[in-house]
Amino acid sequence: MTREHEPPVAMIDRVASLLQVFDGHDRLTLAQISRRAGLPRSSAHRILQRLVELGWVERRGFEYGLGIRMFELGSQVVRRDGVHQAALPYMHALHRSTGLTVHLSALVSGDVLHLERVGGWPEKGESWRLGARQPAVHSAAGLALLAQLDEGDWPVSSGDEWLRHEVERVRDRDGVAIDLEGCSVGVTAVAAPVGPCEGGLSAALSLCGPAGSMPVGRAVAAVRRAAADIWYAASGVTRLHGRQIRRVHAAAPAVLAHG
């Protein structure tokens, strides 16, 4: 094994830190990139040049941004996930029948990250977009996922009386969390976990709609049922007790109005 074949950790970190400076930034100049990544300008330039050739970064004039290859690879992370694949048709059916926006989200170090979204509302809310994050403790999806974990496993600072109380309410509601504008003013959301937490990424299904006009009780029932259906579909478990799997493609009547 030659020295050349032993990549120094520092080198991997340089490439990674360079890509990560684009988190939250569309376009950056070489000077901004080298400063943010803490790399000498010549070093940053050299890595960038190669990443541009590989399609990971793209250059427009004097600015750089992440390239389309990054989007393509990244989208596979979610697209090839079993729960995500099982969830898609149920999410579309739920959106059609309720008119509300449906999210599938995972807990990622103190936040929920939206892995999928079906529906256009809220149009302006950046934190509700696909790939965006919301603080777990303020979102319905986050509270539904925290309630599945022991307090010691919470990826957020525990010991907070308010949070413990919120999580207890979720558990009393059989796992369903309700967010009344805690995450965004004007937005009510309800969430249910998809299956039990099993070490890996566990996901929550949520419905959001305009605060005030969203029929919370019916949304809770709908999200709870869809989350259970997704879990059964994903795990290939046949239902007991002879309950028929509902046809998700049937044009369901709009049971929930959208504002």
User: Which stretches of the chain bind a copy of itself, using CB under 8 A?
Assistant: 1, 4-16, 19-20, 22-24, 26, 39-40, 42-43, 46-47, 50-51, 54, 56, 60, 65-68, 70-80, 88-89, 91-93, 106, 108, 113, 115, 118-120, 123, 129-133, 200-201
> Whole-angstrom Cα distance, residue 97 to residue 252?
5
Contact 190, 207 (CB under 8 A): yes
Toward a copy of itself, which CB reaches closer, 122 or 215? Answer: 122
> Whole-angstrom Cα distance, residue 81 to residue 6?
32
Toward a copy of itself, which CB reaches closer, 31 or 68? Answer: 68
Toward a copy of itself, which CB reaches closer, 41 or 171? Answer: 41
> Whole-angstrom Cα distance, residue 182 to residue 186?
9
List alpha helices for 99-244, DSSP H: 140-146, 161-172, 216-235
Whole-number minimum distance, CB 198 to a copy of itself, in Å?
11
Whole-number minimum distance, CB 123 to a copy of itself, in Å?
6
**Helix axis angle, 41-54 to 9-20, nearest 10°:** 80
Whole-number minimum distance, CB 181 to a copy of itself, in Å?
21
Toward a copy of itself, which CB reaches closer, 13 or 160? Answer: 13
Share of the chain residues as helix, strand and coil, in percent rounded to the nearest 5: 45, 20, 35
Whole-number minimum distance, CB 197 to a copy of itself, in Å?
15
Tallying the residues shown for the chain, one arrives at 259
Query: In angstroms, what CA-CA distances link 179 with 5, 170, 183, 216?
Result: 51, 11, 7, 10
Number of CB atoms found within 10 A of residue 234's CB: 19
Toward a copy of itself, which CB reaches closer, 5 or 243? Answer: 5
Whole-number minimum distance, CB 231 to a copy of itself, in Å?
19
Toward a copy of itself, which CB reaches closer, 56 or 231? Answer: 56
What does the DSSP 8-state code read for residue 237?
P
